Structure 1
Amino acid sequence: MKGRVIAGAIVLVFLLVIGAACICLSGVPAQTSLSAPEQKTGAHTIALMPDEEDDIPLTDDTELAAFARGEMNRLGIFQNELAGAVPGDPVFVHSLDETRHDYYLIPFETDGFISVIAQVSIKGDVADFSSAYPRSFTTQDVVRPTREEAQEVLLENGYDGNRSARLVWKFCEQTRSSTCPVWEFARDTGDTIYVGYDPFTEEIRIYDALTEKTVMG
């Protein structure tokens, strides 16, 4: 009888301990795990999720090429392409998507040809290292078509050349990658026309508008 009483007491104490633990745990808020910036590697592009570690203040003295090289070195990416490479002229791209920032495409050249291009986003007074990708073919052009090529195609197709030009990008049917912006040619009246490069057909194309992509694939 005495043994049964002791065993019952032990079971009761055990249940009380379990209940107290459950009450304590229920009072602890759920925690969200914090992961390191996601690194997405496509066939040739390494894109990084923006975070404060990849940001620097943007001032008149900021050297974006040096910043981009430093980030690639820190991450240990495209070291062969960077070896002996010198920075070329950066290309500014206007974002037509309100959810995305304007950005620079910064080329690094070896023997006069582009070996790797870094993308640095401009977030107000902050510059953010966004991605980098090597050139898989020999070229001196950061983007295709060049402004001269785009203007020539417009003239050949009967468009007047009295238009302002700027590089723009948004995710659309005409271009799905920020590495392939298009030229926007505009009149003072607000009339616009777009010229871009189709990498699948390797043709320079004229677009009346940039249409939203609604179907995946």
Structure 2
Amino acid sequence: MLTDRSPLALGLRTLIVVLGIVAEVWNLTELATGAGALADHFAYFTIHTNLLVIIVLGWAIGVPPARRPVWFDPLRGAMTTYIVLTGILYNLLLAAPGEMFSWAVHPPNLLQHRIIPILVAIDWLVIPTVRRLRLSRFWIWLAYPVGYLAFTLIRGPLVGDWYPYFFLDPNEFGGYAGLLVPILGLVVVFAVGAFVVCAVGVARYRSVRAGSS
């Protein structure tokens, strides 16, 4: 495993941040030519999570562990959960037929839905947290996904009945009551994902502490 400030760790995180910036600049450049609405672009969970990756890992690069707040490691764990599940859910639910096994994908899409999630997962696996995580608090990481669900359902009717994902569109399920099952399913998926990511973080931290004792 790598230490937080090792050259390989810094190199990996720099690569992720650069790729994230390239993908989002590419998106914004296309939007500037009229290929979509800016407000709708920033309504996607994918965009939120990829921007969070840039912020959190950029922070990790620029600020040494001793100067980070105590909640930085939980924030990193939550970010890892969001971006990894973004990649998994996109490829299972939203990708075009055959896209999951193809690299001939629009570059920003490839970066934000596949390459960056994979690299962030590797970052979590090989670079242990600086401080110990509390497995009993993994559920706090669900606050943002649940808040996003509420935001999306409130925003939809206000912007012409538009929803960023079909599984959050009440029109696809016969009204809001029909969304209960997919929403509960998403909450369960994120809860399981957060628990697994947190458990891996706890195990990695313990292994490092055991190896140094």
Higher normalized strand content (fraction of residues): 1
TM-score (norm 2): 0.23
TM-score (norm 1): 0.22
Higher normalized helix content (fraction of residues): 2
